[in-house]
Structures are given as C-alpha cells and as structure tokens.
C-alpha cells in the first residue's frame, strides 16, 4: 500500500470548541493509483492531504505512507520524509519569484541530489517547458507556472504526488492540460497521485474517488473506465 489510514482523527481546539477535521478515517490507497478526493469546503479533504504530506500531525490513529508510520515522527524526521517520499503541487503554485523556472526546480533537486541542474532541466522538458527554463515566474502564464510546480514536485521522483486544487487558479483549458500532465506522469512513472478538488467532474478521470463530508469518508468509489483528462467538462 502506498498510503494507509487507520482510524485517523485530526482535531483542532479543545473541549467545547473542538473541531474534528477528520473523524476516524480509514482508507487504503495502493501504489500507482490516481485518487481524487472530493468534498465541499470544510469536509477535511485538504487536512487529509496535509496529514499524508507530513505537514500536519494526526491527533490519533495510524497513518502509513510507503510503510512508514507518520504518527509520532519528529520534526526532522518529517522533513526527511517530505524530502524523500512526497511531492506537493499547490493551488497557488508557490513558486519563488526570484528564481527562474529551472532554478525553482533545481532548488529541490539540489536538496536531494547535490547539483541537480540536469535533472531539473529534464523534468521541465518532460512537462513541456524546455523553452521556458530561464523564465522567471512573473514571465510565465498560470498554466506554465503550475507546470513548473509539477516539475518541482516530480524532480525528486517521489513515490507519492499530492495535489491540492491544482486547477483552482487556472482556466478550463489550462486546467485540463494540467490534469492531463498529472495523469501522464502517474502512468509513466507509476507514481501514486492524490488530488484534492471540490470539482466533482475531475473524479471521472480518477482510478478511485474518495468523497468526504464533515471529516468522514462518505463514498469510496472505483472507476472501472476512467476517462482521459481531455474529455472532461465542467
């Protein structure tokens, strides 16, 4: 299993003001699966992604990613985990404005493989940005910026890719292109992809759809015949 959640609770606040963002969630996500997590605002989908990404702590329960139990890891251990195991794609790209596309990716590859300029360039080429290596974020379109962010996430070849509303800031056409790219890397690299969105239509391209409401999984559906991203409409 790539990801395994056993009775995972995440609670913010205490006593009467306590809010259960996740309330005893159980889920098993096999390696190489493209999973879409759906749900309205406040349903706990981003919390789940953050817990899997190791940028937040579970309150109780066990959470395994690639056989590593994240519960009780120290801050340094979580940092090492994030470096080796997961890649993030954010809604707002979160690129560093003073670095070029190549340098934004190289920043991550330099962490994991010393000077990773070649790897960074190769990944950017892979996402279709071979001509934009020396462009700064401000010179790129939203779609291009998100592709840089995906390249940054892919560059260290993480077994798990976590995408939080990756099309939220993009127009329809660009959004489909990004989804297509994510699906392609999922297939080519056999990476496990977890994609959080409130856009139910995107669920049609996933191998599996988890629907959350009020911190609990209310639907766990497998798509026998997922459609291609280019066929999506919303």
Partner 1 sequence: MTPLHHKLLRDIRAQRAQFIAVIVTIFLGVTLFAASYDSYQNLAASYESTFTEFRFANVTMSGGDVAGFADVARQEPGVDSVELRTVGDVPLQMGGLKLLGRVVGMPPDAQPSVNQVRIADGSYLAASDTDTALAEEHMADHFKLAPGSTFEVLGPTGWQTMAVGGVASSPEYIWPARNRQELLTSPDNFAVVFVPERLAQVIVGTDGPNEAIVYYIDGVEDEALTDLLLAEAASRGATVSFARDDQPSNAALSEDLKGFEELALFFPMLFLAAAGMATYVMIGRLVHAQRPQIGVLLANGFTRRQVLSHYLGYGVIPGLIGAIPGAVAGVVLARVITGFYTEMLSVPSTLIRFYPATLLAGVAFGLVASILAAIGPALLASRIAPAEAMRGSAPAGRGRPSIVERIVPSLRRLPVPWRMALRGIERNPRRTLFTVLGVVLSLTLVLVSWGMLDTIVNLMDKQFVQIQQEDATVYFAGPVGTDDVLALQEVPGIAAAESVLQTPVVLVGDDRYESILTTFDSGTAMHRFFGDDGRERPLPDDGLLLGGAMKGILGVSAGDSVQLSVSGYATEARVAGFIDEPLGTAAYASRTYVETVVGATLPATSALIRYDEGAVVDEVRAGLVEMDGVAAFEDANALYDTAQKYMIFFYLFVGVMLLFGGAMAFALIFSAMSVNIAERTREVATLLAVGTERHQISRMITAENMMVALFGIPLGLGFGYLAAKQAMASFESDLFAFDLYIRPSTLVVSALAILVVALLSQWPGLRAIGHLDIAKIVKERSL
Which residues are near partner 1 by CB under 8 A? Answer: 46-47, 50, 53, 55-56, 75-76, 79-84, 87-88, 90-94, 96-100, 103, 106-108, 110-112, 115, 136-139, 152-153, 156, 164
Q: CB of 224: closest distance to partner 1 in angstroms?
A: 33
SS (H, E, C) the chain: CCEEEEEEEEEECCHHHCEEEEEEEEEEECCCCEEEEECCCCCCHHHHHHHHHCCCCCCEEEEEECCEECCCCCHHHHHHHHHHCEEEECCCCCCCCCCCHHHHHHHHHHHHHCCCHHHHHHHHHHCCCHHHCCCCHHHCCHHHHHHHHHHHHHCCCCCEEEEECCCCCCCHHHHHHHHHHHHHHHHHHCCEEEEEECCHHHHHHCCEEEEEECCEEEEEEECCCCCCHHHCCC
Closest CB to partner 1 among residues 15, 114: 114
Closest CB to partner 1 among residues 14, 225: 14
Q: CB of 175: closest distance to partner 1 in angstroms?
A: 17
Closest CB to partner 1 among residues 12, 234: 12
Closest CB to partner 1 among residues 196, 229: 196
Q: CB of 154: closest distance to partner 1 in angstroms?
A: 12
């Amino acid at each position: 299993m790539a990801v395994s959640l056993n009775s995972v609770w995440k609670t913010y606040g205490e006593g009467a003001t306590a809010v259960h963002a996740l309330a005893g969630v159980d889920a098993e996500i096999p390696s190489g699966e493209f999973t879409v997590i759906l749900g309205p605002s406040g349903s706990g989908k981003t919390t789940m992604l953050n817990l899997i990404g190791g940028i937040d702590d579970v309150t109780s329960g066990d959470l395994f990613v690639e056989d590593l139990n994240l519960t009780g890891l120290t801050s340094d251990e979580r940092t090492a985990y994030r470096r080796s195991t997961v890649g993030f794609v954010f809604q707002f790209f979160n690129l560093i404005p003073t670095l070029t596309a190549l340098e934004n990716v190289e920043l991550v590859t330099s962490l994991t493989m010393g000077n990773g300029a070649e790897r960074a360039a190769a990944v950017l080429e892979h996402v279709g940005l071979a001509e934009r290596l020396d462009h700064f974020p401000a010179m790129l379109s939203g779609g291009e910026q998100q592709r840089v962010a995906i390249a940054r996430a892919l560059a260290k070849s993480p077994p798990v890719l976590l995408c939080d509303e990756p099309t939220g800031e993009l127009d329809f056409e660009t959004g489909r292109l990004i989804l297509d790219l994510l699906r392609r890397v999922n297939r080519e690299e056999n990476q496990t992809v977890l994609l959080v969105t409130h856009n139910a239509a995107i669920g049609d391209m996933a191998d599996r759809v988890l629907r959350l409401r009020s911190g609990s999984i209310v639907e766990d559906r497998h798509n026998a015949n997922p459609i291609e991203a280019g066929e999506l409409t919303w």
